[in-house]
Structure 1
Amino acid sequence: MTEHNFLQPYTFQSGVTVANRIVMAPLTQEMGNADGTVSPSELRWYRLHSGDAGMIITGSSNVSELGKGFEGEFGVWDDRFIPGLRDAASAIKSRGSKAILQIFDAGRISSTKILRGHDIVSASEIAAPREGYETPRALSGEEVLQTIKNFGEATRRAIEAGWDGVEIHGANTYLIQQFFSPNSNQRTDEWGGDLERRMHFPLAVINEVKSVIAKYATRPFIMGYRISPEEVEEPGITLADAHALVEKLKDEPLDYLSISLGYAWRTSLRDENDKELILNKFVNQVGDAFPIFVAGQIITPADADRALNDGATFAVMGLESIREPHWVKKVINNDEDSIRYEFSLADAEELGIEPPFLTFLLRGFRKALRVSTDPKIDANVYQNMAAPYESTKRSREYLGN
């Protein structure tokens, strides 16, 4: 069998050890119950995937009622969700994977329909530059403080429910990124303005989560952070902005930094003359402060090897983990020829993909999903394009129908 570094175990600074360096990406599945509780469909999905990737990160779990971004997501904003969250953590860990709960607030990437008539909220009263998005209400100073506490309370619930860690979702144009971005944050108080003040909110969330872990965790518990490195909007987050935030993060006890990219080897979208890989930029900046996770069209064992050779510590797999839930096992068993790199609609039930999830995939990611009956797509088309979750303006340039 070929030696692969991604099959080696890893111990985080918190003390959690994972069996390998493949991570199942946080995936929006829309298979949860309408009230935010965990459904049997979700439990089946996670049991199916347990024991393959060393870590499984859930899709976004909203920390407040007004933080819901889509139907069928986990709720983590009330103690009544703890029993279901405990079941989900047990399902993920049933065959050895570590369970990481991604916690977020959608902010303006929501709607009054999804929020059942309640206002959508954000840093400022500025609508997302996407067709059909509503203008949010700006959070008051008191509400900002409460939202920060919500991330801490969500972390406490994750600890009580037996999760191995949380990933703070500071990417993909959701609320934490909305506070960091000069596009969506035009406040004039302590939570907005220049770059330094726009970093207050994400750093305050990290500090709150850190404090809660120190208070409640009686065993090693992971704290990760996910970041989108730039925005294409003007004004928007630049790589220089992102590097300034990461420099602050180096002083925090993070277990990892996950770079949210649609293509792992992408260069800058804002500066076409900058040919250095974004991954390399952050690897060089971070050094040994914490591991780097990278995602984006990591499909084959060679792709995962390349990601680690380029400095990432973990390779994060999204769509490929949907097509092939036994990817790691097949590599270990020297059975790589049987790995599925296309998705057959006939396999959906076997793969645990029920109608809400299947509809979501086919609506927003059909080309990248590689549906077996569709025309074949040249993989090079994804290089240096923004994925739907990376950019507001460019989302349909990438993986749409």
Structure 2
Amino acid sequence: MKNKFKPLFEPFTFPNGVSINGRMVVAPMTHFSSHEDGTISKEEIDFITARSSEMGMVITACANVTPDGKAFEGQPSVARDEDIPGLKKLASSIQAKGTKAILQIHHGGSQALPHLIPNGDVVAPSDVFKDGKQIARALTEEEITHIIDSFKEAARRAVQAGFDGVEIHGANGYLLHQFYSPYSNQRTDQWGGNDEKRLAFPIAVVDAVKEGIEKHVTKPFILGYRLSPEEPETPGLTMAETFTLVDALKTKGLDYLHISLMEIDAKARRGADPSKTRMELLKERCGDELPLIGVGSVITAEDALNAYNQGIPLIAIARELIVDPDWAVKIKQGRENEIETVIKRRQKDKYLIPEGLWTVMEANQGWVPMED
């Protein structure tokens, strides 16, 4: 390994005392390959573990916490105790690579797919209409309470399945994000209105997850939260609202915040100094007390090192690991010049890419570089 890349493999210790063996993280990747009932398949285990070597930790594809939260074909489930045996195989397979295993837990809200959920009954903070047709209905108070409890139960199942932590998915327009957004949350009760009321649901989920963890763990357990810092809509989330969210999360004893971005060095658009990157602004807001994971278009070893040198302690990788599962291994072995940057269709089998993900990649040309 070249000396300049050694920092990428330095250990990192979270606030709760858990250490990982490096600064690079497998980002949660939607693989479309769990069984139809949400239980874990051999395909997804093979896909994820092939990309786990020399990474500090792996964050799994998001697992739905209730049946009506399912947002993808082939999405894993953590909604039932029957899911635990498969999740246990997934966790132990990742850990066998010397890597920590983090289960991302999720509810799709208005992005749930009608044909995948009971009675096609899509729910959201508020009624949602598209082209004059209602596509999601507002949750009742009782249903909100049930979903909060379902996140707690999901955390309990993650502990029982042997994971090293959970990440609450509060980003990318899913349910927690929808509740905090002034664009998607039009409620006027205790769950909507001003920033504080719109924060009530995501904070209640964090508290419930912490309770689910604390009741069942026998050793330190990592708790993270993923967020998207800005929305394009008006009214929508700007950096100002995100600072309010971050300030609230800083009081909750989290181990990290995972900042969901398409470009890790993207600059702020609204609500903060537009000459600074979002990661820079959030680093200033969090200080050293709440570590950040940055993600977005980190392709090369130099990209990862640049992010680290900008003060981002943990860097998540996704698309490049799809293209080259040995990305981190090659950097550690000093072979970073051998990292592949394009998937070769003629060598399809070597990548261990699930058929569902392969089909999506082919249908979305340019998302992942491919050639014949």
Do the two structures share a fold, i.e. TM-score over 0.5?
Answer: yes
Hey, what does 1:202 align to over in structure 2? 202
Change (3 A) 1:347 1:97: farther
TM-score by length of 1: 0.89
Change (3 A) 1:260 1:372: same
1:64 to 63, 66, 73: 66
Residue 50 of structure 1: CA displacement? Answer: 2.7
Change (3 A) 1:289 1:147: same
Identity of aligned residues (%): 39
Change (3 A) 1:132 1:74: farther
In the alignment, structure 1 residue 86 sits paired with structure 2 residue 88:
yes
- For residues 50-81 of structure 1, the C-alpha deviation after alignment (integer angstroms, 9 at most, x for no partner) is 32311111111000010100110111011010
- For residues 293-350 of structure 1, the C-alpha deviation after alignment (integer angstroms, 9 at most, x for no partner) is 0000001111001111112111110100111111111111111111111222223321
TM-score by length of 2: 0.96
Residue 9 of structure 1: CA displacement? Answer: 0.8
Hey, what does 1:104 align to over in structure 2? 106
Matched residue of 2:3: which SS?
coil
In the alignment, structure 1 residue 372 sits paired with structure 2 residue 371:
yes
1:1-400 counterparts in 2 under 5 A? 1-4=2-5, 5-127=7-129, 135-270=135-270, 274-364=274-364, 366-372=365-371
Change (3 A) 1:272 1:342: farther
Q: State the superposition RMSD in angstroms.
A: 1.7
Matched residue of 2:316: which SS?
strand
- For residues 130-160 of structure 1, the C-alpha deviation after alignment (integer angstroms, 9 at most, x for no partner) is x899621111001111111111100000000
2-side partners of 1:362 and 1:230: how far apart?
29
Structure 1: tracts of 5 or more residues without a match: 374-401
Residue 116 of structure 1: CA displacement? Answer: 4.9
Matched residue of 2:169: which SS?
strand
Matched residue of 1:167: which SS?
strand
Is the contact between residue 50 and residue 91 of structure 1 (CA under 8 Å) also seen in structure 2?
A: no
Point out the structure with the larger helix share.
Answer: 2
Is the contact between residue 240 and residue 271 of structure 2 (CA under 8 Å) also seen in structure 1?
A: no
Residue 92 of structure 1: CA displacement? Answer: 1.1
1-side partners of 2:45 and 2:194: how far apart?
44
Residue 17 of structure 1: CA displacement? Answer: 1.3
Matched residue of 1:224: which SS?
strand
Matched residue of 2:343: which SS?
coil
Paired residues, number: 370
Residue 118 of structure 1: CA displacement? Answer: 2.8
Matched residue of 1:312: which SS?
coil
Matched residue of 1:113: which SS?
helix
Matched residue of 2:135: which SS?
coil
Residue 6 of structure 1: CA displacement? Answer: 1.3
2-side partners of 1:151 and 1:31: how far apart?
22
Hey, what does 1:377 align to over in structure 2? none
2-side partners of 1:271 and 1:368: how far apart?
30
More off after superposition, 265-274 vs 351-360: 265-274
Hey, what does 1:392 align to over in structure 2? none
Is the contact between residue 68 and residue 118 of structure 2 (CA under 8 Å) also seen in structure 1?
A: no
Residue 12 of structure 1: CA displacement? Answer: 1.1
1-side partners of 2:301 and 2:133: how far apart?
39
Change (3 A) 1:210 1:346: same
1-side partners of 2:234 and 2:134: how far apart?
19
Change (3 A) 1:132 1:60: farther
Residue 114 of structure 1: CA displacement? Answer: 2.0
1-side partners of 2:65 and 2:220: how far apart?
22
More off after superposition, 155-164 vs 305-314: 305-314
1-side partners of 2:271 and 2:346: how far apart?
42
